[in-house]
Amino acid sequence: MDRESLIRTGKSGAVHNYLAVSHDLPPIVLIQNSDEDVVTHVINENSGSKVRNRLEELLYIENAIDYVFVCRADATEFVSRARELNDVMALAPEDRIDVLVVAYLENGGEVESYYAELTPAEKNTGRSIGEWKEQNIEIMGNVLIRKW
pLDDT tens sequence across 12-71 = 999 998 888 777 788 999 999 999 999 999 999 878 789 999 999 999 999 999 999 999
Phi and psi, residue 45, nearest 5°: -130, 155
Q: What is the pTM of this model?
A: 0.88
Who's near 50: CB < 8 A, 6+ residues apart?
none
Amino acid identity, position 130 = G
Structure confidence at residue 77 (pLDDT): 86
pLDDT exceeds 90 at position 83: no
Specify the range with the lowest mean pLDDT, choosing from 31-35, 98-102, 138-142: 138-142
